[in-house]
Amino acid sequence: DIQMTQSPSSLSASVGDRVTITCRASQSISSYLNWYQQKPGKAPKLLIYAASSLQSGVPSRFSGSGSGTDFTLTISSLQPEDFATYHCQQSYRTPWTFGQGTKVEIK
């Protein structure tokens, strides 16, 4: 299976901060990388697909980049509703695998 490793596992940030989360694959996955946001007690929600494509309805402060093994999710200006856990997921090869998640907390 392809292993996905996110860093950091958690971070504290303030409203208005620029936040960057990294996801690394154990082998090249081209651009088959997706990002999801999950709030407590809720189902995940798609933010970014194919490494850098913004899902319809998702605010433009979210962006994704990368290819091969290294990927980044950036929130340009953190808003109160962005405090959540973020998951990366590869869809290059089955079984699809997720990172362990990054929890973004209020500083």
Partner 1 sequence: EVQLVQSGAEVKKPGESLKISCKGSGYIFTSYWIGWVRQMPGKGLEWMGIIYAGDSDTRYSPSFQGQVTISADKSVSTAYLQWSSLKASDTAMYYCARLGSSARHIDYWGQGTLVTVSS
Residue 66 contacts partner 1 per CB under 8 A: no
Distance CA 42, CA 54 (A): 21
User: CA separation (Å) from 77 to 4, 30, 42, 104?
Assistant: 26, 28, 23, 13
- For partner 1, the closer of residues 97 and 104 by Cβ is 97
- For partner 1, the closer of residues 18 and 32 by Cβ is 32
Q: Where on the chain is the footprint of partner 1 (CB under 8 A)?
A: 1, 32, 34, 36, 43-46, 49-50, 55, 87, 89, 91, 94-101
